[in-house]
């Protein structure tokens, strides 16, 4: 890569950095929504993890429910994949990538992760829908890691 | 927001950025303490997850214990909420917020998350104590995300 | 610490910041590999968490398998420890540490976490191998947090 003063990279005048921050905000909102999706399933099914959670609704039970666990697995998959993407993408921004490529990678990752949740925990779609969404997102992160390793070695 | 050179934001001369880093350090310490809280419960109850963990204490068992799981759920809730806050707050700092507002939001989030752990996993306090702590923290993150989406669009 | 303009810290001319980004990329790659390690175990043992995952391999079952859970616990331990390290190390870079110390702390953490996975989920090594790997990594993070708290107070 051409050597570039980092002051021109970590600035809102850099459309790549600004897009990075924008899609981060979208992804944070998407991850927060998983808590509410879990809560909705818990209330709908009347299942909670702690004794103190059920005092106000005597029909509720402390047990494991498959529909709740499905949402929790989707949330866990977000934790495993989105946080590392955010770290990888921060490094990638500092490699001074092509704005067109970088912004479309942010978009592809974000759309893939939203699709992952939709087909996993909102409307269950047969495989390989979820596998494809997973691999699109992971491929973006792997690409960013590879570029970073080369740039920062 | 008034357009501000980012050099005046990502610097320790900016009290907001400095406070962001300070409360991040507090929150990292708080999250690390969950591992020790889990370990303390495991030793106290003599329950471990792996066969290799129990060779030195023959009375221990490989099983799931409710008191251990409670601490682990509190730790998981930290992972789900604190890491996304840190990302959201980084973006929020770059929107050039009012220092008074920003620093008090960092404090509110940090106190809410410490309270969340105390009422969840140290001394179990009846609901809605934990729900309130959760919603204070989540509200801070949602506000930061909303301001970021507007600023970086 | 000597007061230093942050422009000299958040730049690729700062060997500490560049090393931070390099070891971040290694750690992201390491964390991503856990998904593939889990998938390999699931396929080898024929166990999956969702009904839609087993339609293509009729011999597979939806059940919990100890070898899969072991890899998942190693992955969870990464989530609990590596993401907070990345946040702590970002703050630590901004305290203007000695390059020799900082770069060796990044290396120690990275090697400790790779060792942690190897002895936990690839070849099971008797304790205290895993405990040592855990404490080396956690000690690095705690040191960085302590330095940050002092610097940003």
Burial class (CB in 10 A: 0-12, 13-18, 19+), C100: exposed
What are the distances in angstroms from CA B141 to CA A128, B28, B146, C15, C77? 33, 17, 9, 33, 25
Specify if C24 maps to a domain. yes
pLDDT score for C78 = 96
Q: What does each C-alpha distance from B87 to A70, A93, A104, C41 come to in angstroms?
A: 26, 15, 20, 32
The distance from CA C83 to its chain's CA centroid, rounded to whole angstroms, is 7
Q: How far is B61 from chain C (nearest CA, A)?
A: 15
Q: What length does chain C have? A: 153
DSSP-assigned letters across all residues of B71-128: HHHHHHHHHHHHHHHHHHHHHHHTT---HHHHHHHHHHHHHHHHHHHIIIIIS---TT
Contact A86, A93 (CB under 8 A): no
SS3 C112: helix
B55: Cβ contacts below 8 Å, ≥ 6 apart: C126, C127
pLDDT at A7: 66
Q: Specify the pLDDT at position A2.
A: 42
Q: Is residue C8 part of a domain?
A: no
Direct distance between the N- and C-terminal alpha carbons of chain C, in angstroms, rounded to an integer: 12
Q: Is C47 part of a structural domain of the chain? A: yes
Q: In the structure encoding, which two tokens stand for residue B145, read together?
A: 């995300």
Contact between C152 and B49 using a beta-carbon 8 Å cutoff? no
Collapsing DSSP states into helix, strand and coil, what is residue C61? strand
**Closest C-alpha among C75, C65, C69 to residue C116:** C75
User: Residue A1 pLDDT > 60, yes or no?
Assistant: no
pLDDT of residue B1: 42
Domain that holds residue B139: 14-152
Element (H, E) at C15: helix C15-45
Determine the straight-line distance between the first and last CA of chain B, rounded to whole angstroms.
13
Q: In this complex, is the C-beta atom of C152 within 8 Å of any C-beta atom belonging to chain B?
A: yes
Q: Which pLDDT score, from 0 to 100, does residue C1 have?
A: 42
Inter-chain CB proximity A25 and B91 less than 8 Å = yes
Average pLDDT for consecutive 10-residue bins of chain B (153 residues)? 62 90 97 93 88 79 87 95 97 94 97 96 88 95 96 92
- Rounded to an integer, the average pLDDT of A9-17 is 87
| CATH (domain of A82) | 1.20.120.550
Residue located via tokens 């947090």:
C145
Q: What is the pLDDT of residue A6?
A: 66
Tell me whether A133 touches chain C (CB under 8 Å): no
Which has more confidence, A71 or C127? A71
ipTM value for the complex: 0.91
Q: Is B152 close to A26, i.e. CB distance below 8 A?
A: no
Tell me if C145 and B28 make a contact (CB, 8 A cut-off): yes
Question: Choosing among B9, B16, B18, B21, which should be mutated to test the C contact, i.e. which has the most C CBs within 10 A?
Answer: B21
Residues in chain B closer than 8 A to C9 (CB atoms): none
The string of pLDDT tens digits covering residues C30-48 is: 999 999 999 888 888 888 8
Residue range A55-113, pLDDT digits in tens:
767 788 888 888 889 999 999 999 999 999 999 999 999 999 999 999 999 999 999 99
Contacts of B11 in chain C (CB under 8 A): 5-7
Query: Could you tell me which residue, A126 or A38, shows the higher pLDDT?
Result: A38
Contacts of B31 in chain C (CB under 8 A): 80, 84
Q: Does some domain include residue C54? A: yes
Q: Which member of B6, B130, B142 has the closest CB to residue A32?
A: B142
Task: Answer yes or no: is A9 within a domain.
Answer: no
Quick one: which of A96, A107, A84, A81 has its CA closest to A20? A107
Chain B: list its partners (3+ Cβ pairs within 8 Å): A, C
Task: Kindly state whether residue A1 falls inside one of the protein's structural domains.
Answer: no
**C142 within some domain:** yes
Higher pLDDT, A56 or C82: C82
Between chain A and chain C, how many beta carbons pairs sit less than 8 Å apart?
73
Residue C6 inside a domain? The answer is no
Element (H, E) at B33: helix B15-45
- The residue with tokens 């597979």 is C60
Pairwise CB contact (< 8 Å): A5 & C19: no
Q: How many domains does chain C have?
A: 1
Cis peptide bond upstream of B118, omega within 30? no
Percent of chain C with pLDDT over 90: 64
- CA torsion sign for B94, B33, A84, C50 is negative
Nearest to A22 among B73, B141, B149 (CB): B149
Find residues 19-78 of chain C whose CB sits inside 8 Å of chain B. Answer: 70, 73
Q: If you average pLDDT over every residue of chain A, what do you get?
A: 90
């Amino acid at each position: 890569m051409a050597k570039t003063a980092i002051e021109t990279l970590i600035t809102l005048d850099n459309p790549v950095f600004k897009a990075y921050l924008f899609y981060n905000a979208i992804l944070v909102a998407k991850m927060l929504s998983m808590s509410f999706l879990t809560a909705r399933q818990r209330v709908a099914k009347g299942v909670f993890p702690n004794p103190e959670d059920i005092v106000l609704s005597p029909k509720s039970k402390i047990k494991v429910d498959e529909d709740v666990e499905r949402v929790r697995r989707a949330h866990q998959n977000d934790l495993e994949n989105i946080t590392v993407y955010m770290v990888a993408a921060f490094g990638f921004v500092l490699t001074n990538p092509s704005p067109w490529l970088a912004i479309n990678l942010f978009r592809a990752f974000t759309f893939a992760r939203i699709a992952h949740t939709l087909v996993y925990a909102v409307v269950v779609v047969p495989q390989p829908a979820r596998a494809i969404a997973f691999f699109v997102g992971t491929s973006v992160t792997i690409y960013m890691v590879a570029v970073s390793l080369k740039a920062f070695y």
